[in-house]
A and B are shown apart, each in its own frame.
Chain A
Amino acid sequence: MSDTLLEVRDLSVRFVTDDGATQAVDRFSFSLAPGEVLGIVGESGCGKSVTMMSLLRLLPETAAVTGEAVFQGNDLLSAPPAALRRVRGREISFVFQEPMTSLNPAFTVGRQIAEVLQKHLGLSRAEARRRAIELLDLVRIPAPERRLDEYPHQLSGGMRQRVMIAIALACDPKILIADEPTTALDVTIQAGILDLMRDIRNRLGTAIVLITHNLGVVADIADRVVVMYAGRKAEEAPVHELFAHPQHPYTIGLLGAIPRRGADRLQEIPGLVPALAAPLPHCAFAPRCPRADDLSRTQVPELREIRPAHLVACFHPGT
């Protein structure tokens, strides 16, 4: 496995609070190759964001994280805080869902981009400013010299998300983790942002982890897809394989919920993702699954490779 940038093994995240415990992620593993675009898909509350945030230890102290996440030979989950801060924003950077509130309202966008450059790359103010203009240009913001001196409230949502991406790309990271980067934006802007991310991968070779609940977005940009359900991996496959031959009933359910020409009604999956106090002793999807039987109600299905590079955790896979 020399061609692996990030290798996550048996990641579990548990929140322990006064109100009880919540198992957010349960023995989740995945790997990421350089320049790859990995889509992580699932409903709200299935542990996508928590998984990614736990990698850079961005979760509150109430989260107990176990497992390992090896990046360039070091385990991020046990790295000392100072080493971790050098990885954050420098090697692995984040773009969050809320572009409206993710920029500091007290400073111009130029200073906020420059701040990361000065901190991580030790650039002078003038150099940082020049580079900030290049970055704004890279994320296709018109008249970057002018925008640099504007405050976040003067920019639109799409513009701000582009600035967030510019900040994330400032130090030329190896991995860009984008957590629902387009959800808060309207559809035309979404397409532009996705287009931009694809372009960035092609030009800079940045690996991208795209967290989304929108399979349409994944189909558009991802190379490989991981479907998550209730903190576990339900299915993993290259994007074309997944869309052509979905195996897990949950994936099939998600695909049924994409609007399509000709379909009169969207199919929904009944019920909600369960909030778990402890890992379930059976298939987590069983209560909502049309194929559930005694086996899936009593045992946890392990991941199996049923086609090349196509993993499914289901006792009754099939399209």
Chain B
Amino acid sequence: MSYVDVSAADIAPADALSPRARRRRLLRRRIARRPFAVAGFFVALAFALAAILAPWIAPYSASTQDYNAILAHASRDHWFGTDELGRDILSRIIWGARASIVAGVLATMLAMAIALPIGLVAGYYRGWIDSVISRVTDVLLAFPFLILAVGLAVILGPSLMNATIALGLGAAPGLIRVTRGETLALREEDYVRAAVANGAGDATILFRHIVPNMTSTLLVQITVTIPAAIIGEAVLSFLGLGVQPPTPSWGVMLADAQSYLSLAPRLAVYPGVAIFLCALAYNLLGDGLRDVLDPRTTR
């Protein structure tokens, strides 16, 4: 017997609920069916909180040196051990989350701020302006994201802010292509045609009919770009193009760990795991959001 189990309690309150409440409940159910996405959300949230609350939750400051514990193993005082200068690794991981989250979020916001208007203009007006924009983005897309970001960071000079700008600029071409493609598709929708017939101007069409209907696509792009930018920040800092020592960053920690790799591999393992977990969490969150927000997934 394979009847779908629908008890009276499932049906009866549905009619009593307002449309808004019913939608919220459906959304909650869809989310609850995706444990990985929920886990990703909480891990991503934990990293974000660690970055914000670093001064209160980190056991030590990022530069406090314990001369009695140089390259020490994990102990009660230093849960993850200490590095070659006697600095507490756990504290540096927590403080380092700041650089990662700042770079990840700000670079993504910058990329969006650049890509959304350009992609909209290209996709909506088409013609010569689209040709120019598309050819330029094609050229930029020929460079891998990290190569582009490294090149830009070299030009801008090493600092966290410049690394963030470089990552934002580097991520923009891909986002331009996505927004352009979405705009091209959405401008042909019947409701856009109907809006034109009802006297809507370009601004109304763009911001009431096109942008709102690509929010789910954009949201997914954002959650894919954030981990890419987090990894990018680590790479740039590792190469000395991002956060400068002694400010902690996972990339800087990895770079410093190189000289002690045979002596104390944990110096590389902890920041490596942090980068991995943080990027994975945002990716899982993004996948989950895409599934939840995509109207084609019905369950």
- A residues lining the B interface (CB < 8 Å): 56, 58, 85-90, 93-94, 96, 98, 101-107, 115-116, 119-120, 146, 149-151, 153-154, 164, 167-168
Contacts and interface: CB of A to CB of B under 8 A. Distances in A.
Contact of B209 (A104, A120, A153, A164): A104
Where chain B touches its partner, the secondary structure class is: helix
B195 A86 contact: no
A162 to B, nearest CB: 14
Interface of B: 18-20, 23, 189-191, 193-201, 204, 208-209, 212-213, 215, 295
A153 B213 CA distance: 14
Nearest to A170: B198
Contact of B19 (A86, A89, A154): A154
9 contacts: A88-B196, A88-B198, A93-B198, A101-B190, A107-B208, A107-B212, A115-B208, A149-B18, A167-B198
Contacts of B204: 115, 119
B190 A96 contact: yes
B15 to A, nearest CB: 11
Given A89-B198, A120-B199, 4 more contacts: A96-B193, A104-B195, A146-B19, A150-B19
B212 A104 contact: yes
Contact of B198 (A94, A146, A149): A94
A177 to B, nearest CB: 9
Contacts of A89: 197-200
Nearest to A119: B199
Contacts of B18: 146, 149
B194 A96 contact: yes
Nearest to B198: A89
Nearest to A81: B201
Contacts of A120: 199
B197 A56 contact: yes
Nearest to A111: B208
Nearest to B192: A104
> Which among B18, B189, B195, B197 has the highest number of chain A CB atoms within 10 Å?
B197
Contact of B190 (A85, A88, A98): A98
A157 to B, nearest CB: 13
A104 B198 contact: no
Contacts of B199: 85-90, 116, 119-120
Contacts of A93: 197-198
Contacts of A88: 196-199
Nearest to A97: B190
Contact of A94 (B197, B209, B212, B295): B197
B212 A106 contact: yes
Contacts of B190: 96, 98, 101-102
Contacts of B189: 101
A102 B19 contact: no
> Which among B191, B193, B194 has the highest number of chain A CB atoms within 10 Å?
B194
Contacts of B208: 104, 107, 115
Contacts of A115: 204, 208
Contacts of A149: 18-20
> Which among A101, A106, A115, A164 has the highest number of chain B CB atoms within 10 Å?
A106
A123 to B, nearest CB: 15
Contacts of A151: 19, 23
B189 to A, nearest CB: 7
Contacts of B215: 106
Contacts of B20: 149
A89 B196 CA distance: 9
A134 B209 CA distance: 25
Nearest to B214: A106
A158 B215 CA distance: 28
Contacts of B201: 85
Given A115-B208, A150-B19, A105 B213 contact: yes
A227 B23 CA distance: 47
Nearest to B195: A104
Contacts of B212: 104, 106-107
Nearest to B211: A106
A102 B204 CA distance: 16
A241 B145 CA distance: 72
A167 B200 CA distance: 13
Nearest to A120: B199
Contact of A102 (B23, B194, B213): B194
Nearest to A164: B194
A104 B236 CA distance: 43
A281 B23 CA distance: 60
B193 A58 contact: yes
A295 to B, nearest CB: 42
Contacts of B213: 104-106
A58 to B, nearest CB: 6
A199 B82 CA distance: 83
Nearest to B201: A85
A155 to B, nearest CB: 11
B200 to A, nearest CB: 7
